[in-house]
Structure 1
Amino acid sequence: MAGAQQQLTTEVDGQTMKLTNLGKVLYPQTGFTKAEVIDYYHQVATLLLPHLSDRPLTRKRWPDGTEAAYFFEKNAPRGTPTWVRTVTLPTPGSSTGRDEADFVVADDVQTVVWLANLAALELHVPQWRIGLSDQGKDPQADLIVFDLDPGPGATIVECCDVALALRQLLSHYGLEGWPKTSGNKGMHLYVPIEPASSKLTSAFAKQLAEQLAEALPESVTANMTKALRPGKVFIDWSQNASAKTTLAPYSLRGSDEPRVSTPIDWDEVASATSPEELRFMPHDVLERIEAYGDVLDGLYDDPQPLPS
């Protein structure tokens, strides 16, 4: 879709769009260009959208590439097209001094491509959807997420061991975990649930993280103190708070190379022996989709009630 030229006017799902600075290198260490970023997001959009749809989107943008400055963006930027969905939601305690923001909501392919053209490399969403409840008070989450973060001396391989233990613990509560790489050093584990208070889901996630840390004290910590993390995997349960967000599945990372937060299956989790096995670039992800389809297909199909 995006060739070698610097600028291109094209049509995406019936929407005419101007794509700019296509030859700009956004990942200097690998030479990965903005055109390639747009092309990846265009190809993966149909699998990405179920995880963005109806969720307020926080973007992390690198307009001058990943070796330059980046910024987080909650508000829809100036010049946002009228066809891009936006929604005004409260942001209590915001550092901007404003208690609400005009969030972008990505519900269609053209919005994903528009975001890619803005060099919004990372797409972050909360565990709740708009409209499930009054977001200003206590949003109703439809996901629980466990962020498995390896401390110094540990890797994603150790995260896999913890994920397997967490999977077994979840099964005792009738819940299923769906793993993906974080695109960085660790993993995320999603648990689909029937809509429940974010306060309750956060408390439940903390409870399970502490249970596992007590059962596996040599390899797991649920404590945020960084001094306790060497050689262990930190289970970050705090991303279930209503104000927190997690990198969406299939999103790029703004790192030295264009790594992708990639869904993986439990066989891959169980068999991993080196971090390299679970490091995926855009071409790897597209090849995986071609070979296996969407590993997260069905994630939202059978949510279970939060244990009381």
Structure 2
Amino acid sequence: MTPITEVEGRRLPLSNLEKVLYPATGFTKAEVLHYYATVAGVLLPHLRERPVSFLRYPDGPDGQVFFTKNVPPGTPDWVTTAEVPRSEGPARMVLVEDLPSLMWAANLVAEFHTHQWRITDPGQADRVVFDLDPGPPATVVHCCEVALWLRERLARDGIEAYAKTSGSKGLHLLAAVRGSSSEQVSDYAKTLAVEAEKAMPRLVLHQMKRSLRPGKVFVDWSQNAARKTTAAPYTLRARAEPLVSAPVTWQEVEECRSPDRMALRAPDIPPRLQDFGDLLAPLLDPDEAGTLPERHTEGP
């Protein structure tokens, strides 16, 4: 019998709580739900007003893994949804706005992925993101080196960057911006990726071509496109262990000498929140947002 729990007045059926979802550590679905309940205070602000795509792995990362962008069948009527513009026509997607919605979504067993814009103004990007992806034998240690270069480069344009682990093998760089479209932000991000490649040609690649990637860090600027999404802060990832896409300090980035230093798991996050709070909180403050250089904000 599926147990029913009540979350802020909403009744939720929670299924298969003893199922092991992360075989390397024995981390169960009940522990997944407990993790999301524990980090809800910092996760929800990064999800609010952002249409969510789910990368679902209901039987663990070794089972079927699939993306869900449209509202899933059986979604409760109290979960907020919104019509989202797409080139092929509008679609309806989920907005995770509160704790009951978060726990309902967590019960689906999914990574949370969001756009770099809010549903209140889908024509305007409010973040720029770089996904630093190492091609073996390069590792996240090399990603940290590239991240430090990008941080300094962004700072020259008056834009403050923040880092988080990808929850996989790389690193994400994020910054709050204002007054620009997704297309303009993409153009700006590509410009910086090209500059990084010119500055560090033996280490950095701005092209996606896989044959060029061994031993280099691919600076993926394309996730700034309006249709693209990136793993949300604090989301669990579909890996053998319960790895999290978690914020890190710049001191940790500077001192990274081993890939293990950037492998943050669900049990690591609550103590880090006690020590640091939400390291990405400035991304939520409109007053902290930077403005792209004029050449990237001018019209055609």
* Same fold (TM > 0.5): yes
Distance 1:146 1:90 in 2: 23
- Percent identity at matched positions? 49
Tell me the equivalent position of 1:53.
48
Distance 2:91 2:17 in 1: 30
Report deviation, 1:109. 1.1
**8 Å contact 2:84–2:119 — kept in the other structure?**
no
Distance 1:228 1:266 in 2: 29
**8 Å contact 2:46–2:284 — kept in the other structure?**
no
Deviations 1:35-92 (A, max 9, x none): 1111101111111111111011100111222211111101111211111000122332
TM-score by length of 2: 0.94
Q: Are residue 306 (structure 1) and residue 292 (structure 2) matched? A: yes
Report deviation, 1:30. 1.9
- Alignment-mate amino acid for residue 12 of structure 1: V
Distance 1:91 1:199 in 2: 14
Report deviation, 1:202. 0.2
Deviations 1:93-152 (A, max 9, x none): 4xxxxx3321000111111110111112x10001000121xx4xxx21000000101112
Q: Are residue 198 (structure 1) and residue 182 (structure 2) matched? A: yes
**3-state DSSP class of the match of 2:281?**
coil
**3-state DSSP class of the match of 2:101?**
helix
Tell me the equivalent position of 1:186.
170
Q: Are residue 273 (structure 1) and residue 279 (structure 2) matched? A: no
Q: Aligned match of 1:112 in 97, 102, 121?
A: 102
Aligned pairs (5 A) from 1:1-308 = 7-93=2-88, 99-120=89-110, 122-132=111-121, 135=122, 139-301=123-285, 302-308=288-294
Distance 2:19 2:208 in 1: 38
Distance 1:169 1:77 in 2: 41
Tell me the equivalent position of 2:297.
none
Distance 1:68 1:115 in 2: 19
**RMSD, aligned α-carbons:** 1.2
Report deviation, 1:13. 2.3
Tell me the equivalent position of 2:298.
none
Distance 1:13 1:157 in 2: 42
Distance 1:191 1:51 in 2: 13
Structure 2: runs of 5 or more not aligned = 295-300
More displaced, 172-181 or 220-229?
220-229
* Number of residue pairs aligned between Structure 1 and Structure 2: 292
- Alignment-mate amino acid for residue 234 of structure 2: Y
- Alignment-mate amino acid for residue 126 of structure 1: H
Distance 2:179 2:266 in 1: 32
More displaced, 264-273 or 282-291?
282-291
Report deviation, 1:249. 0.5
Report deviation, 1:230. 1.7
Deviations 1:13-45 (A, max 9, x none): 232222111111111222111111111011111
Deviation >4 Å, runs of 4+ = none
**8 Å contact 1:223–1:234 — kept in the other structure?**
yes
Distance 1:295 1:68 in 2: 33
Distance 1:286 1:140 in 2: 33
Distance 2:93 2:191 in 1: 31
- Alignment-mate amino acid for residue 161 of structure 1: E
Structure 1: runs of 5 or more not aligned = 1-5, 94-98
**3-state DSSP class of the match of 1:299?**
helix
TM-score by length of 1: 0.92
**3-state DSSP class of the match of 1:57?**
strand
